[in-house]
Structure 1
């Protein structure tokens, strides 16, 4: 191993010396008259051209001569001949002498790449592909509907959001135009989860897939502590002004997906709501989103980690999953076929026997959840994440969070 490392190092040392020789020769070419001589722009341009590697190198120039086995001394000589720059004669002779003394007769491929790269190039198959270029898209111009501002009016009656279909839609409407829209099970989402029309309206271009344009869910309005409405950042920016001095029965909140352990998602942080839940009247009870609703928001925004074990339990309940490790009752149920291999419990009676009382999805949602997480994060949920382990490996891993 030591001999091989020394031999490889000698080869790379010789290759790097070519660059060093070029720089030394470039500085030697400068005609110095005295120490006070000023350097002109012409001299600097010439120095740069002589010192720097070209930004674009043809593959045949980078690899050197024909692909044949040669000793490293001859590889070095061939590379010097290929180089268009003048080299330092003194350093060149020293490198040649060192290669002659220690290079030996061992051969390698004449290209300047290492052996692993050579193997990849040697066996790489040329493949021609024709890819359709995506159509250009025009973003929608943001707008603010008056009904959005009316959400801030605490003195008026509670708005009937279902009747304002030009401004508010049930949450599954966010999947309109998305390839997995049919798998989202629209009737499985809570009736008090909404999106604004602007939240779903992203691009004006028609007849294209909206998968790349699915808006990240970041801002929500908790309206009268009854409804959760996803809005755009543009709408949230306006509502901050109207909600600052209002009663906290309607609050603007930031909801972040938890993409790493111990990360705050802000949605239930009292000091970060608008208006703040700190210092409110004793007659008003601060409203915090319960885990039962929170985990459904986790499904929607592509969260990958849990903060407490109750979130993990509620998440599995919501998706009607019974992953490992299982209790003795759950193991017996798995043996009877009540629990599928992918951990989904489809029968309502079996769910009741297994105390899965908060199930929202009656059909297997795993394919939908995987696709949604991949859309939100641009990659699959990692197996080491809490959610990734559940939906891909059928295993709860929250117990390792403190390790």
Structure 2
């Protein structure tokens, strides 16, 4: 620190709550002191002002406990002075020791009349503890300590007042110690939402008479699925090149807030509506786009327009957060248009299992419907959790399988018959984070996915 300002610098970091407190103090100072240059920029003097204010407040808050401890200490000293400890002939009978214990200890049971019977009024700390000294049962209290304590209360307590209650030195102390604080989360400041946009290319998705669109030619409307994590902390861990190439998101799906400079982690849009385009591509769309698509697709269905082999449908995807729950995405009667009473040449498309497990990762799925889903999920993430076969257990002993169940080497994948691996690097950190974000809580270890990623153990 001896070269601070001469080649060395000092940077202060704080939490959001502390930053807000510093800003409030600065604004209050700006009102009283018009000479401040900038009321928004936090300077060193603002940080020192906050430290000073906190020190002053904590000192005042601690004066009551400090003076109460002084009085308790003097009471105990007074009780001990009643016994002549230098008298070798002194017999420490049970009565003497019990009286000493009663005078030193504080009552465990307090009657309500003693606690709330007397009226309360505003007094300074000096007045409160002066009255406590006057009503103390012990008369051999140290006058020097009493005067020193009351002087300190006068110097530091000032004229600030608090509610007091006389004749309650023990009760008052107990109430202060048991005072409960209700924590209130300080949310980030409000942000400005984006104005929804309906691109012409979204309209063209419903045009079943034209050729299939090349979605990669419209980057301002369609992006590959990892684009949904842009400007979040998930993007670096999601292994963007390992997801299905025909999984897309609309740029409107990713656009949520117009305020710049904010982390988009709290504003990730839940993946609920999927456009299955020509039974080839999956496109996540926003609720605004889905609302328009529902009306358009139903209108085409009523007019008998769906007469081709490749269909375009809109589907609802729900995360399975309960053991027995439908995710709807493959339910024929709940697609738009419904996959029932179709023409003879129309194909009812059901998403394959290797597609579904990637959707499970993306939308924070917690439970599986059957063993096949669980196996495909583990293989997709390159995991080999317990319970293991004899061959898998031998591989674990050889170090091929990590403690968290991850299998890194491609040769070991073949040996363990893991043929559906998509993520070659350990992606468990990303899976845990996305689960917390989607479900607003940690994955319970009793859930299928929670047991796999936390305990490296399968439940079904």
The alignment's TM-score, normalised by the length of structure 1, stands at: 0.70
Choose the corresponding residue for 2:451, options 386, 389, 395: 389
Partner of 2:366: 304
Choose the corresponding residue for 1:164, options 218, 241, 248: 218
C-alpha distance in structure 1 between counterparts of 2:109 and 2:350, whole Å: 73
Q: Tell me the SS of whatever aligns to 2:293.
A: helix
Choose the corresponding residue for 1:264, options 318, 321, 326: 326
Partner of 1:69: 107
- Are 2:384 and 1:322 equivalent residues in the alignment? yes
Shift of 1:261: 0.9
C-alpha distance in structure 1 between counterparts of 2:224 and 2:272, whole Å: 17
- 1:336-374 residue CA offsets vs partner (Å, 9 max, x unmatched): 111111100111110011111111101001001111111
Q: Tell me the SS of whatever aligns to 1:387.
A: helix
C-alpha distance in structure 2 between counterparts of 1:333 and 1:161, whole Å: 43
Report the CA distance shift for 1:83/1:319 in structure 2 as closer, same or farther (over 3 A).
same
C-alpha distance in structure 2 between counterparts of 1:324 and 1:80, whole Å: 64
Q: Tell me the SS of whatever aligns to 1:314.
A: helix
- 1:362-399 residue CA offsets vs partner (Å, 9 max, x unmatched): 1001001111111111211110000000001100012x
C-alpha distance in structure 1 between counterparts of 2:414 and 2:312, whole Å: 35
Partner of 1:240: 294
Report the CA distance shift for 1:111/1:259 in structure 2 as closer, same or farther (over 3 A).
farther
Shift of 1:285: 2.5
Q: Tell me the SS of whatever aligns to 2:191.
A: coil
Shift of 1:180: 2.2
What is the alpha-carbon root mean square deviation over aligned residues? 2.7
Shift of 1:143: 1.2
Shift of 1:198: 0.3
Partner of 2:55: none
Residues paired across the two proteins, number = 300
Partner of 2:88: none
Choose the corresponding residue for 1:151, options 164, 187, 205: 205
Shift of 1:134: 3.0
Return structure 1 stretches of 4+ with deviation > 6 angstroms.
none
C-alpha distance in structure 2 between counterparts of 1:341 and 1:78, whole Å: 57
- Are 2:273 and 1:219 equivalent residues in the alignment? yes
Alignment of 1:74-113 (within 5 A): 75-82=112-119, 110=171
Equivalent residues of 1:343, 1:394 under 8 A apart = yes
- Are 2:340 and 1:278 equivalent residues in the alignment? yes
- 1:129-153 residue CA offsets vs partner (Å, 9 max, x unmatched): xx99734411001111111111011
Equivalent residues of 1:135, 1:208 under 8 A apart = no
Q: Relative contact order, CA 8 A, sep 6+: which one is greater?
A: 1
Equivalent residues of 1:342, 1:394 under 8 A apart = yes
Report the CA distance shift for 1:338/1:71 in structure 2 as closer, same or farther (over 3 A).
closer
C-alpha distance in structure 1 between counterparts of 2:351 and 2:109, whole Å: 71
C-alpha distance in structure 2 between counterparts of 1:310 and 1:111, whole Å: 64
- Are 2:420 and 1:358 equivalent residues in the alignment? yes
Report the CA distance shift for 1:286/1:347 in structure 2 as closer, same or farther (over 3 A).
same
Partner of 1:377: 439
Report the CA distance shift for 1:148/1:335 in structure 2 as closer, same or farther (over 3 A).
same
C-alpha distance in structure 2 between counterparts of 1:232 and 1:120, whole Å: 52
Shift of 1:207: 1.2
- 1:54-89 residue CA offsets vs partner (Å, 9 max, x unmatched): xxxxxxxxxxxx99637544x3244133489xxxxx
Report the CA distance shift for 1:119/1:296 in structure 2 as closer, same or farther (over 3 A).
farther
- Are 2:241 and 1:187 equivalent residues in the alignment? yes
Stretches of structure 2 lacking an aligned partner (at least 5 in a row): 1-67, 73-105, 122-169
Partner of 1:52: none
C-alpha distance in structure 2 between counterparts of 1:358 and 1:273, whole Å: 28
Equivalent residues of 1:70, 1:110 under 8 A apart = no
